[in-house]
């Protein structure tokens, strides 16, 4: 299983990807989580990335491609395949990914677009709570943790992402439509694109994903 999940902020990439990972024993590479780990570790890259993320813009293609290449080459969990969540986000990133995978003779099986109107995303983003160490996410209303502001697995505190507010969301959506919209067309032309309705509740979205993987839809 080698697939990418494309979708705007709050579409449900980080909600569905761990379920795919568990079912198919593949790695889940979330570029946003990787950047936030750099921010938490206070590296130079983390300092630069935080500024860009809080402006709703994109980190350079060169840095992002290097990160993914490193994981695909060295992360043993990726031997069975991978889910890319948040990458590629530009056409140059998509082209680089293609050349990386063709060198390994392991092309993508699916490019899945989680389709949802922008109007539903404000509530999802402003209500999200995350467990920084694992990347697990909750929602104040739609998927609350068992104990308020606490991760169900570790009991550690949950936080809100610094880019999860209405102002930055507007910029992130603008960036998504302008720079990632063409990535959808790129995979459409390659014939591996599938769009699914991500506005339904998470269990229904999961069923639609299974339909794609099992060749039913």
Q: Per-residue string for binding with ligand AP5, 28-47, x by CB under 6 A?
A: ---xx--x------------
Contact partner at residue 64 from Zn ion, ligand AP5, none, CB < 5 to 8 Å by partner kind: ligand AP5
Query: Do residues 6 and 111 touch, judged by C-beta distance below 8 A?
Result: yes
| Of the candidates 115, 133, 124, the residue with the CA atom closest to the CA atom of residue 5 | 115
Work out whether 8 is an interface residue with Zn ion (CB under 5 A).
no
CA dihedral in degrees (217, 31, 103, 180; nearest 10)?
60
Instruction: Write down the catalytic residue from 89, 96, 124, 136.
Output: 89
Helix axes 44-54, 31-40, angle to 10 degrees: 120
Spatial distance between the Cα atoms of 37 and 31, rounded to a whole number of angstroms: 10
Q: Per-residue string for binding with Zn ion, 14-33, x by CB under 5 A?
A: x-------------------
Instruction: Write down the catalytic residue from 2, 13, 124, 136.
Output: 13
Work out whether 131 is an interface residue with ligand AP5 (CB under 6 A).
no
Is-catalytic flag, 207? no
Q: Is 11 annotated as a binding residue?
A: yes
Is-catalytic flag, 172? yes
SS3 per residue for 87-113: CCCCHHHHHHHHHHHHHCCCCCCEEEE
Please give the residue whose beta carbon sits closest to ligand AP5 in the complex.
32
Task: For the CB of residue 8, give the shortest distance to ligand AP5 in the complex, in Å.
Answer: 7
| Of the candidates 111, 101, 99, 83, the residue with the CA atom closest to the CA atom of residue 183 | 111
- The verdict on whether omega for the bond into residue 88 sits within 30 degrees of 0, i.e. cis, is yes
| Of the candidates 6, 61, 33, 15, the residue with the CA atom closest to the CA atom of residue 163 | 33
Spatial distance between the Cα atoms of 14 and 144, rounded to a whole number of angstroms: 16
Work out whether 89 is an interface residue with ligand AP5 (CB under 6 A).
yes
For residue 2, list its beta bridge partners. 82
Work out whether 15 is an interface residue with ligand AP5 (CB under 6 A).
yes
Task: For the CB of residue 189, give the shortest distance to Zn ion in the complex, in Å.
Answer: 26
Contact partner at residue 87 from ligand AP5, Zn ion, none, CB < 5 to 8 Å by partner kind: ligand AP5
Residues lying near Zn ion in the complex (CB under 5 A) are found at 13-14
Residues lying near ligand AP5 in the complex (CB under 6 A) are found at 7, 9-15, 31-32, 35, 52-53, 56-59, 64, 86-87, 89, 93, 124, 127-128, 137-139, 142-143, 172, 201-202, 205
Task: Point out the annotated binding site for AMP.
Answer: 31, 36, 57-59, 86-89, 93, 161, 172
Catalogue the active-site residues. 13, 89, 128, 161, 172
């Amino acid at each position: 299983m080698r697939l990418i999940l494309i979708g705007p902020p709050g579409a449900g990439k980080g909600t569905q990807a761990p379920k795919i990972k568990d079912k198919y024993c593949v790695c889940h590479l979330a570029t946003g989580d990787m950047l936030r780990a750099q921010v938490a570790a206070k590296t130079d890259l983390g300092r630069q990335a935080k500024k860009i993320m809080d402006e709703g813009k994109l980190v350079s293609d060169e840095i992002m491609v290097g990160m993914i290449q490193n994981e695909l080459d060295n992360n043993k969990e990726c031997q069975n395949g991978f889910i890319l969540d948040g990458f590629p986000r530009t056409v140059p990133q998509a082209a680089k990914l293609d050349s990386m995978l063709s060198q390994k003779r392991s092309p993508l099986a699916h490019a899945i677009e989680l389709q949802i109107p922008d109007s539903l995303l404000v509530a999802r983003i402003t209500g999200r709570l995350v467990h920084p160490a694992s990347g697990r996410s909750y929602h104040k209303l739609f998927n609350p943790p068992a104990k308020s502001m606490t991760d169900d697995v570790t009991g550690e505190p949950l936080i809100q992402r610094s880019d999860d507010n209405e102002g930055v969301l507007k910029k992130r959506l603008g960036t998504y439509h302008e720079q990632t919209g063409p990535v959808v067309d790129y995979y459409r032309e390659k014939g591996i694109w599938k769009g699914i309705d991500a506005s339904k509740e998470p269990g229904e979205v999961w069923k639609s994903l299974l339909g794609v993987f099992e060749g039913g839809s």
